[in-house]
Structure 1
């Protein structure tokens, strides 16, 4: 789910810029860190801080928001 969330952010320029600003990652860093559980957890945690963005992601992926929370927790969040 973390990779799906990252792909979702990649298609949303404004939220992606906000995520990069708070995470300190650049575009290259996103690709390099995409396989790191802690980084994917950070992506999910970012979605969880913005209810509107979270709901849009969940609608796009046909997921319940609580599944994002569970996935974040499973990755260490």
Structure 2
């Protein structure tokens, strides 16, 4: 298995964890839905779209208190969120060059 594939899978796992964190927070979920324009009932469908998981990490990164809370709850360093973003579609040009 190529290193790039492992990194993408790890980035996807982190973004899914972040989505779960957002979905269970009564303050974050409405903000996420308002910013993205996604209906709560459409999250599962939207999550299959390229770029959605990158958008989840971008949402977390855009608000430092949210980033810190997520990282503390997940026991990961904040830099890992930004690094993961680069391995997802629409997260950075690095993704396209690693395919």
Q: TM-score, normalised by structure 2?
A: 0.72
Structure 1 residue ranges without an equivalent (≥5): none
**Counterpart check, 1:28 vs 2:41:** yes
CA RMSD of aligned residues (A): 1.1
**Counterpart check, 1:18 vs 2:31:** yes
Indicate the structure with greater helix content.
1
2: distance between equivalents of 1:68 and 1:21? 22
Number of residue pairs matched?
77
Larger Rg: 2
Q: For residue 7 of structure 2, what is the aligned residue in structure 1?
A: none
Q: TM-score, normalised by structure 1?
A: 0.91
Q: For residue 3 of structure 1, what is the aligned residue in structure 2?
A: 16
Structure 2 residue ranges without an equivalent (≥5): 1-13, 92-99
